[in-house]
Amino acid sequence: MRQENIRNIAIIAHVDHGKTTLVDQMLKATDAFRENQQVQERVLDSNDQERERGITILAKNISIEYQGVKINVIDTPGHADFGGEVERVLRMADGALLLVDAAEGPMPQTRFVLRHAIDAHLAIMIVVNKIDREGARPEEVVNDSLDLMMDLGATDEQLEFAMEHVVYASAVNGFARLAPDDGNMDMYPLLDMIVDALPAPDVDVDGPLAMQCVTIDHSEYVGRIGIGRIYSGTIHDGDKILVVKNDGSRAMSQVKQLFTFDYLGRKEATEVAAGDIAAVVGVDSTDIGDVYTDPDNPVELEPIEIDPPTLSVIFEPSTSPLVGREGDIVGGRQLKERLMQERENNVTMRIEELPDKTGIEVAGRGILHLSVLMETMRREGFEFQVGRPRVLFKKDENGAMTEPVEQAVVECPGEYSGKVIEVFGNAGGTMSSMETGTTQTHLEFKIPTRGIMGLKNRILNVTHGEAVFYHTFLEYGPYAGEIGVRQNGAMISMSTDKAVAYALGTLQERGQLFVGPGDECYEGMLVGERSKPGDMVVNIARTKSLGNQRSSTADIAVQLTPPRTFTLEEALEYIMDDELVEVTPKSIRMRKRILSETERRKWAVRTGKVKK
């Protein structure tokens, strides 16, 4: 039986193609806000980092009311690192809006999220966004999207549905059209098509209760809140329910509070029927994939499998000489407690303490996935250090070593394409396709995840900043052997002191600096990159020697190039195996694991890195 008064839709797209802005306009068109209400742009990007980075990190549920139909909208992340969210939340939807930029067309992460939507057998509607952008080619983009759906194995029904249901929109300007130039200036054609064309949930309202938890929310007051779609039956406040875990274990529980989604918030409910999305309070330590069902007549649902992590880093308490100057929380015990709390709330990461208790290993889907956690913790006042991200290898059925392989796409002016291909070749990549346009060349590569680290900077350097670079996890492939690492050596401070302009003036001739005059440095800290291989220990506090004939201010006006600054992701990609990134609320510093030069030399002799 279809619940005709409900539609469950997911919005899927590549990063920055306008998902969250489109949801803003749908909310405005359905009078979600009071007339005089001040509303920020991208209202669903509620997390500070989402607003700063301009990306969606957490999937979010809202609902809007249109023509008597409740439309549950799921805003999904577009970045492959947050794919764990996408896979699960698509289970709540019956249809999806595939949002594609009218100029760029389908991009690598469009492929990633679209594959999951096709596998979930969703009806897919194409929305071509930014049709008023310079260089827009809406009709071509529709054909490219259909071609991509065919490549990903869409069924004939899915392809026919997508061909017949296309909307052209400009989310920024708040209009949707059935033809690119029909002149309509509101969002109603899109809302009409959602209500008229996308399928209503096909459920059994009178059957036994079956609900699967696909997202976990956490409250300090009530603990974990399980969010998911009800596939059959009705759940009531106060019901006794049977909870079936992914591993088959069972336990009884009671619904203490029940919520449905209402515009941007949640509304307490006494009952929620099949087809709708509910939030349930009262199931202790509920987990992704838990099935809430009728104890007398239990229903079995497919367990949820989450793609495995591909990268891991080790979090350790900071051992920097400057520890405690910028952060309030520096102890190993607090670091462990915070990460174990994250394990409770974030099922897409694998978090385990090392056997020797020296640190905590955190495994995730990519550097961005891991750096979002680090950024959150530094904002909470933590100081800690992390090592170089390590790729998680696996063995196939024959016992051969396999490693994660990514699909990388580069768009750059044609004259730089040769240099880009060379950079990928040195990093273990192989080119899978090349399309030459009038101004831009589109290159696609397969490359081991190990080779991706630090690649973005090299590509931007050889293309003079004109390349657009994306990558997404593709599969586990054969081990690609040794891959070239950072070619240039580092400049390492020999003392704990403030950097002096005079010293930096002579050092900048040897390479690129990471610090400026007055910056606090310590022995073993990376203060720059040499223009040659091999590390060099430098004195950043050297001052001009003065005779009694000269004034201290004469001849010391130094012209310094601004130092190179690193984001957290860039620093993680830059460091080598014997280096660490020190993360504090105000600074990101790179350092050697062993700070003393003498101790480093002894270690190099012991491990055979250099001869005696």
Checking DSSP bridges between strand 69-75 and strand 6-13, what pairing results, if any? parallel
CA angle 430, 109, 92 (to 5 degrees): 140
Query: What's the CA gap between 286 and 267, in Å, rounded?
Result: 21
132 marked ligand binding residue: yes
User: Can you tell me whether residue 164 is helix, strand or coil?
Assistant: helix
The answer to whether 366 and 359 are in contact (CB under 8 A) is: no
129 marked ligand binding residue: yes
Identify the DSSP state of 329. B
Query: What's the CA gap between 308 and 324, in Å, rounded?
Result: 35
Beta bridge partners of 73: 9, 62
Identify the DSSP state of 382. B
130 marked ligand binding residue: yes
Q: Residue with structure tokens 């520096």?
A: 330
Identify the DSSP state of 343. H
CB atoms within 10 A of CB 123: 18
511 marked ligand binding residue: no
19 marked ligand binding residue: yes
The answer to whether 243 and 286 are in contact (CB under 8 A) is: yes
Per-residue b or e along 574-596, where b marks 16 or more CB atoms closer than 10 Å to that residue's CB: bbeebbbbbbbeebbbbbbbbbe
CB atoms within 10 A of CB 535: 18
16 marked ligand binding residue: yes
498 marked ligand binding residue: no
User: Can you tell me whether residue 92 is helix, strand or coil?
Assistant: helix
CB atoms within 10 A of CB 347: 17
Question: Exposure of 608 by Cβ count < 10 A (0-12 exposed, 13-18 middle, 19+ buried)?
Answer: exposed
Q: Is the dihedral of CA 435, 436, 438, 439 positive or negative?
A: positive
Closest CA to 502 of 544, 564, 555: 544
284 marked ligand binding residue: no
Query: What's the CA gap between 405 and 407, in Å, rounded?
Result: 7
Q: Which amino acid is at 379?
A: R
Binding residues: 16-21, 129-132
Binding residues for GTP: 16-21, 129-132
